[in-house]
Amino acid sequence: MKLFNILLFMAFIFSGCFNSSTVYKSIPNYNGPKITKIVVNKSQRKLFLFHNDKIIRKFKVGLGFNPKSHKSKQGDGRTPEGLYFIDRKNYNSKYFLSLGISYPNTEDKKYAKSLDIDPGGDIFIHGGPRYKGEFGKRDWTAGCISVSDKNMKVIYSMVKAGTPILINP
């Protein structure tokens, strides 16, 4: 029986049913106004997509498991605050889809160096984990900004690499 389950799983993998391109193909096309900035208000748990000064879309978010204050070191569970940029897009993310945030910036690195600590990194906007055991409470990430998978598809389609993101307390 165990061998049968393994063979069934292998057939599923190789059939293309469990494939990152399946996720990628389901991302909607966006033909609206260019998203010129992202603003996250941590205290409101909201993410806003702007075209110039006009809010185009807004979304509820979750934050790091220790959301108060600015991220300062690896493992503190905080979501950074300040001005960053979307520096990469990953459709094969462990957490559904993801948009990389350019944390740590020069100021963050300088501060961490002055205290001889590791500022951390790999901060993203992402959907829920592919294995839902980690999901369930609002602020569950290690410092990232999380949204529902449905909303992540929309955000991923609208935002380009290079877009500034301002994360407010």
The domains located in the chain, with CATH, are 35-168 (2.40.440.10)
- Each residue's pLDDT expressed in tens, for the chain with a length of 169 residues: 555 444 444 444 443 444 444 455 588 899 999 999 999 999 999 999 999 999 999 999 999 999 888 898 899 999 999 999 999 999 888 888 999 999 999 999 999 999 999 999 999 999 986 555 544 568 999 999 999 999 999 999 999 999 999 999 9
pLDDT of residue 106: 95
Cα distance between residue 41 and residue 65, in whole Å? 16
Both tokens assigned to 82: 């300040």
Concatenating the DSSP letter of every residue in 101-158 gives E--S-HHHHHHHHHHT------EEEE---SSGGG-SSSS-BSS-EE--HHHHHHHHHH
pLDDT of residue 112: 93
* 3-state class (DSSP) for residue 1: coil
Cβ neighbours, 10 Å, residue 154:
17
pLDDT of residue 132: 53
Q: Is this structure's pTM higher than 0.75? A: yes
Strands 37-41 vs 164-168: parallel, antiparallel or unpaired: parallel
Cα distance between residue 65 and residue 43, in whole Å? 14
